[in-house]
Structure formats: C-alpha cells, structure tokens
Amino acid sequence: MDETKRRPRIDWIHTALVQGEAVRAYTKWDYQPTVIDGVPESFARA
C-alpha cells in the first residue's frame, strides 16, 4: 500500500502484506490487480 496515503489503524489491522500467500497453497492461481484495468485479465485467468 502507498505509504504516503496510508491512514493509521484500519489500514494496518485490515491489511495483509502479500495477502495472496494466505490462499496460495491451495488455490490454482491467485493475483492481486491494483487497478481495475488488470481485473479482466485476472478474471480470465482465474
């Protein structure tokens, strides 16, 4: 997350660093698009 825009509290307790790691062991594929333009491709691959 952009450190210059990160707010206190919620952005810390509700954010995981490399969050895909939580499901990577038992999903076929995971991805984290950062803008909406990357979502269609991730949908297609998923």
For tokens 């939580």, name the residue: 22
Smallest separation, CB 13 to other proteins (Å): 8
Long-range contacts of 5-10 (CB under 8 A, 24+ apart): none
Give the binding-site size for other proteins (rule: CB under 8 A). 34
Phi-psi category of residue 24: left, alpha or beta, with phi > 0 → left and psi -120 to 50 → alpha: alpha
**Binding map of other proteins across residues 7-36, x = CB under 8 A, - = no contact:** x--xx--xxx--xxxxx--xxxxxxxxxxx
Q: Where does this chain bind other proteins (CB under 8 A)?
A: 1-2, 5-7, 10-11, 14-16, 19-23, 26-40, 42-44, 46
